[in-house]
Amino acid sequence: MVSLFVQGYHRHQILKVIIPEVDMKPLYPYTRIVTQIDNYHGALVSDPYRWLEDVDSEETLEWIRRQNELTSSFLERMPTRQKIKNRLTQLWNFPRSWAPWKKGKRYFQERNSGLQNQNTLYVMEHLHGEPRVLLDPNAFSDDGTVALTGLSISKDGNWLAYATSRSGTDWLTWHIRNVATGDDLADVIEWSKFCNSAWKPDGSGFFYSRYDTPVEGAAFQNTNYNHKVFFHTLNTTQEHDELVYQRPDQKEWWFQSEVTEDGCYHTLTVLQGTDVRNRLFYQDLQNPDVFVELISELEATYQFVGNDASVFYVFTNLDAPRGRLIAIDTGYPQKENWRTVIPASSSVLEGVVMVNNQFCALYDEDAHHILRLFTHDGSPDGEIPLPGPGSVVQIDELGLHGSRGDDELFFAFQSFLCPPTVYRYCCTTRSAHVISVSEIDFIPAAYETYQVFVTSKDGTRVPMYLTHKKGLQRDGQNPTLLYGYGGLNFANMPRFEIHRLIWLEMGGVYASANTRGGGEYGEDWHRDGMLDRRQNVFDDFIACAEWLISEGITSTPKLAIEGRSNGGLLVGACMTQRPDLFKACIPQVGVMDMLRFTRFTIGWAWISELGTPEDPEQFKTLYSYSPYHNLKPGTSYPATLVTTADHDDRVVPSHSFKFAARLQACQGGELPILIRILTKAGHGFGKPTSIQIEEQSDIYAFLWSQLEME
């Protein structure tokens, strides 16, 4: 096995990386291998890079340094990298804003002047009033690595609870700010994760969830169990917070709090890992000693929408894989007493909000959004027109901001070529008006977006969007970047990403696949890409790639694939199954070791989606496509740029470390295998603009070189 590695390095030598010409195979740093054999239900599985799981060891840190040195030296030799970075910086520098929301008499809105590392939160005393900076996360740190990652405002608009995270971690620290004065209280809440905050109607404090304080030095790797719900009273320290709810008998449960608009109930969405099914409990705030288990079985999705006193309106996919809205009288909660308010339809109901005492429903139809209105009794009441195929920007929940007592609804619309445009819909006049639009240094009229449908291996019809310059010649010579996700019920909708524009300007085609495993066609579509059906996701993505080639859009020497997180797994699986199909691959923060993902941080939560290696049959499925384990020595793999971050505590970086190390060893061809490891960064949420520009410049420079773009 040693013969598979670059020879000539002693394990203790300090290496000087030698960089060849950009079109040659790099000389990789030495990576130690160990004899580690695990027995899974009688199957002996080698794990030669187990030591890279200790991401803070001196040896691993030295490995990171040398790999980054190799990657940086390789990419810096690209003559187009600086040009790409300059143009990307120019494109990125445009003012933008997101949908405002109203609390009390005040309006709140996130904005970015252009190149700010983090969005700034503004407050206005009325909608068209002079905006005042309420919170500027760019002041939290010099390099922008402390991000605003959660916020909620009291019902009267007087108090802001906001959460920050440092260096991309999922761990949150909550603070409280007086909206009128802009001053923070001394209150600080730590070790919160995967939660929101929900204010009591009197503004005295809020509900939130947290984990126990982790063992020192283990916050980024130890598994996260035993979420607990607390209530924090203003002007007190965290140790005085009231424990509201816990379930030590259910260590995998985690909780999201919401207080009803009438202030009478505290609802708990009870989640179990990443399972889309959930339980729904509630607490009468006039009788807070009891939590009622309204939905006690893990059988379907249940999302609280609103209430008329004891009648709860709940979105669910029970007996309706594409979703419906039901009414549950908590005095008579038996299923036979449930009433359907908005029935299921051929479109996928993603969720519902109450505004102007009626319902606004967000639908997904063939992977684009539609907004429909319903009266209080569920009768259809027309649509809110959208500019075309695109999506409502979903920074939080549905991205629809309104309240039952107001006649205005705010939302932001986007598409592949259209940056977020903010609308105000007036329910009284039944009209939508643009209140802010982003101007970019780009001519979208020179490009086009359209949707095609691809036939997968088993005959399934799979949607895919294509965006490129008008007048494209179908000669197989167009550099093409195919993106996918395919999991966790996440619908891969048309969305605006500023960095995609430079790819289009470079003459590239951008393709976005809507594979199974996502939520584009409801829960059936999702389940057809879960667990033992996971191979369907890879087959769909491969079919999309083959369609692009067969239609003359591109060819293998011009085709690259990209995906993040679960999408990084998708790229890893497809490039190991069909290395002949792609020229370049960009797996980002991916789940690559399918036999050990449950052992770190929140990885156990993916068992409902992926399965567990502890189960003999599920082990067979996981092992069959695990990217790390399916690399074969001597195979000619596509040029690959793996990306990860040293503080990623969601998909721990050892997934990417081990995959990259083994891929470098197995590469039988001449194409480069590189890994780019960010420091002071995490899974991606809250990543500073400056870091995003650097990362995307490297990715596009790498693709430019490997796809031999002009």
pLDDT tens per residue across span 463-478:
999 999 999 999 999 9
Query: Which has the closest alpha carbon to 133: 125, 148, 141, 121?
Result: 121
pLDDT at 101: 95
Q: What does the block give as tokens for 493?
A: 């909708």
Who has greater pLDDT, 25 or 334? 334
pLDDT class of 18 with cuts at 50, 70, 90: very low
pLDDT at 7: 26
Q: Which residues pair with 466 in a beta bridge?
A: 450, 511
Q: Which of 683, 697, 698, 705 is catalytic?
A: 683
> Which helix (H) or strand (E) element contains residue 621?
helix 616-625
pLDDT tens per residue across span 294-348:
999 999 999 999 999 999 999 999 999 999 999 999 999 999 999 999 999 999 9
Three-state secondary-structure class, residue 512: strand
pLDDT at 217: 67
Other C-beta atoms closer than 10 Å to the C-beta of 311 total 14
Other C-beta atoms closer than 10 Å to the C-beta of 296 total 11
pLDDT at 463: 98
What angle in degrees, to the nearest 10, is found between the helix axes of 535-550 and 566-577? 70
Kindly list the distances between the CA atom of residue 388 and the CA atoms of 385, 415, 648, in Å, as whole numbers in the listed order. 9, 8, 36
pLDDT tens per residue across span 82-93:
999 999 999 999
Q: Which of 565, 608, 656, 705 is catalytic?
A: 565
On the question of pLDDT at 13 being above 70, the answer is no
In the residue annotation, 329 being an active-site residue is answered as no
Q: Against a cut of 0.85, is the pTM above it?
A: yes
Rounded to whole angstroms, how far apart are CA atoms 248 and 235? 29
Kindly state the average pLDDT of the residues 25-33.
92
* All structural domains of the chain with their residue ranges: 2-89+442-706
pLDDT class of 396 with cuts at 50, 70, 90: low
Q: Which of 47, 539, 540, 648 is catalytic?
A: 648
pLDDT tens per residue across span 553-594:
999 999 999 999 999 999 999 999 999 999 999 999 999 999
In the residue annotation, 624 being an active-site residue is answered as no
Q: What does the block give as tokens for 60?
A: 């691993």
Kindly state the average pLDDT of the residues 375-403.
91
On the question of pLDDT at 231 being above 50, the answer is yes
In the residue annotation, 565 being an active-site residue is answered as yes
Query: Which has the closest alpha carbon to 614: 635, 631, 597?
Result: 597
Architecture of the structural domain at 2-89+442-706: 3-Layer(aba) Sandwich (3.40)
Kindly state the average pLDDT of the residues 259-287.
95
On the question of pLDDT at 135 being above 50, the answer is yes
Kindly state the average pLDDT of the residues 436-441.
94
User: Which residues of 573-631 form beta strands (DSSP E)?
Assistant: 584-588
